[in-house]
Amino acid sequence: MAPLAERMRPTSLDDYIGQKHLVGEGAVLRRMIESGRVSSFILWGPPGVGKTTLASIIAHQLQTPFYTLSAVTSGVKDVREVVERAKSNRFFNSASPILFIDEIHRFSKSQQDSLLGAVEQGIITLIGATTENPSFEVIRPLLSRCQVYVLKSLEKADLLELAHRAIEKDVVLRELKIELKETEALLRFSGGDARKLLNILDLLSESVGKGESLVITDELVTERLQQNPLAYDKNGEMHYDIISAFIKSIRGSDPDGALYWLARMIEGGEDPAFIARRLVISASEDIGLANPNALLLANAAFDTVMKIGWPEGRIPLAEATVYLATSPKSNSAYMGIGAALEEVRRSGNQPVPLHLRNAPTSLMKELGYGQDYKYAHDYEGNFVRQQFLPDALRDARFWHAQDNPSEARLSERMQRLWGDRFKEQ
């Protein structure tokens, strides 16, 4: 019998759980589906949030031919064959056949190029699914022809609804006497992933026979998953859990932990570009100004891995991992941009002070644009005090130096130039 996750796969939007921002009443995808015409788009989100299911529901409701390719196993030849079949199945004034490509981020440039013509001409409607940021992994010409919709990890309420629905409606589970007494461990181990949740329920139900009772508690879930640590993920995919442990080990300055999780990813066949990209992000977010060289080394590791590939690529990745883990840490730039964004959202579009405005025309000069601006290089030390923030925010602070030698020097310089404005409380 098929796994519970397959048995519970919904066939209509009414049965689809989560992603209300896309498929709820009046939401963009629901409106598109109800109109009977969909344009090409890419679904971006973590595993187990319904990307594949949503694509198949759309094809079912539009009653149009539906083709599926996996970027892991398909080549350019497979793409061209599907396009030819789509041409022959296209009827006058009917919706274009849908081509669903799972893990589209794994498609090579040539594979993606082979799709362009068919998407442009409307021979196929492309629906891609990816766990990776498509702006990094999908070629620009193809990306420009697709909308990108972001799917979110399922909320606790969504997961609970799914669990109750499975217990009440699944052909196997409804024959058992299942009581969902405690849910904290079930939700924690699921991590917003519907597939994980259903796989856990599948695992628990295997221990009882028809008509027997099963009381689900936090202790029971934890015990069963410790005995079968990968059982809640049928493919052994702990992609997001392991990358989380990897980044947290770097952030926590533990090179041994970081190397262990790096080894787990390498041994598990993780995409080296995915690892390298996370190192670049960590260098900016977690090391930051405490050691600006970390970003340079992470970028160099990324470039090197792209040039030499596996298995030698493990060495520059390990070098960057150890360097980042042993570096002093600061998230002052990360916190600073977060504070600035929060202020922009709160106070809106504040006017640019006149002296900072560009004045390409005589009228603008007459209106005072650029007047009284002081050119820093005309002053001693290439600095002069003047206002660079909007009038309403002239005293705002966003960047705060943190306690490390590198930022201490930056803070001292700012205090020397600006006085008390940059004095940390």
The predicted-structure confidence for 364-420, as pLDDT tens digits, reads as follows 676 667 778 888 888 888 888 888 888 888 888 888 888 888 878 888 888 888 888
CATH number at residue 117: 3.40.50.300
Average pLDDT, the chain: 83
Residues 151 and 45: their CA atoms lie apart, in Å, by 5
Strand partners, 149: 43
> Are residues 138 and 162 both part of a single domain?
no
Between 366 and 348, the more confident residue is: 348
pLDDT on residue 174 = 83
CATH number at residue 275: 1.20.272.10
The answer to whether 108 and 114 are in contact (CB under 8 A) is no
Residues 136 and 142: their CA atoms lie apart, in Å, by 12
Domain termination residue (choose one: 192, 227, 262): 227
Residues 423 and 346: their CA atoms lie apart, in Å, by 25
Identify the H or E element spanning 363.
helix 362-366
DSSP type of residue 13: G
Q: In percent, how much of the chain has pLDDT > 70?
A: 91
Domain count, the chain: 4
pLDDT on residue 76 = 81
382 located within any domain: yes
343 located within any domain: no
pLDDT on residue 360 = 66
> Are residues 24 and 146 both part of a single domain?
yes
> Are residues 310 and 217 both part of a single domain?
no
> Are residues 104 and 127 both part of a single domain?
yes
105 located within any domain: yes
pLDDT on residue 304 = 92
Q: How confident is the model at residue 323 (pLDDT cuts 50, 70, 90)?
A: very high
| Amino acid letter for position 257 | G
What are the tokens at 6?
């397959």
255 located within any domain: yes
CATH number at residue 160: 1.10.8.60
> Are residues 164 and 213 both part of a single domain?
yes
Considering 36-50, 283-297, 379-393, 398-412, the range whose residues carry the highest mean pLDDT is: 283-297
pLDDT on residue 415 = 86
Tell me what the mean pLDDT of segment 86-106 comes to. Answer: 76
pLDDT on residue 274 = 85
Domain termination residue (choose one: 88, 117, 150): 150
Strand partners, 147: 41
Alpha helices in 16-149 (DSSP H): 20-23, 28-35, 51-62, 76-89, 109-120, 134-137, 140-143
Q: Concatenated DSSP letters for 282-294?
A: HIIIIIGGG-THH
Distances (CA, A) of 182 to 2, 168, 178, 186, 230: 27, 17, 12, 8, 21
Residue 231 in this model has a pLDDT that exceeds 60: no
Residue 288 in this model has a pLDDT that exceeds 80: yes
pLDDT on residue 61 = 82
The answer to whether 138 and 104 are in contact (CB under 8 A) is yes
The answer to whether 188 and 25 are in contact (CB under 8 A) is no
> Are residues 161 and 261 both part of a single domain?
no
Minimal CA–CA distance to 34: which of 16, 61, 57, 9?
61
Residues 367 and 112: their CA atoms lie apart, in Å, by 51
Strand partners, 213: 177
Distances (CA, A) of 419 to 233, 375, 378: 57, 20, 20
Summarised one tens digit per residue, pLDDT across range 147-170 is 899 998 888 899 999 999 998 888
Q: SS3 for 105?
A: helix
14 located within any domain: no
Global pTM reads 0.55
69 located within any domain: yes
DSSP type of residue 206: T
pLDDT on residue 140 = 86
> Are residues 125 and 162 both part of a single domain?
no
Please give the torsion angle defined by the CA atoms of residues 66, 72, 73 and 75, in that order, rounded to the nearest 10 degrees.
80
Summarised one tens digit per residue, pLDDT across range 177-193 is 888 888 888 888 887 88
Please, which residues have CB within 8 angstroms of residue 146's CB and are 6 or more apart in sequence?
39, 40, 41, 42, 119, 126, 128, 134, 138
CATH number at residue 417: 1.10.3710
> Are residues 315 and 263 both part of a single domain?
yes
Domain termination residue (choose one: 150, 172, 199): 150
Q: How confident is the model at residue 283 (pLDDT cuts 50, 70, 90)?
A: very high
Tell me what the mean pLDDT of segment 286-296 comes to. Answer: 91
Q: How many Å is the maximal CA-CA distance in the chain? A: 87
Q: Which domain holds residue 73?
A: 19-150
| Amino acid letter for position 70 | S
Residue 236 in this model has a pLDDT that exceeds 70: no
> Are residues 174 and 212 both part of a single domain?
yes
> Are residues 99 and 126 both part of a single domain?
yes
pLDDT on residue 107 = 83
What are the tokens at 190?
């699921």
Rounded to 5 degrees, what angle do the CA atoms 218, 222, 226 make?
Answer: 175
> Are residues 124 and 173 both part of a single domain?
no
189 located within any domain: yes
Burial of 173 (0-12, 13-18, 19+ CB in 10 A): buried
Residue 115 in this model has a pLDDT that exceeds 80: yes
Residues 245 and 254: their CA atoms lie apart, in Å, by 11
Residue 233 in this model has a pLDDT that exceeds 70: no
Tell me what the mean pLDDT of segment 256-277 comes to. Answer: 84
> Are residues 214 and 135 both part of a single domain?
no
2 located within any domain: no
What are the tokens at 181?
């007494």
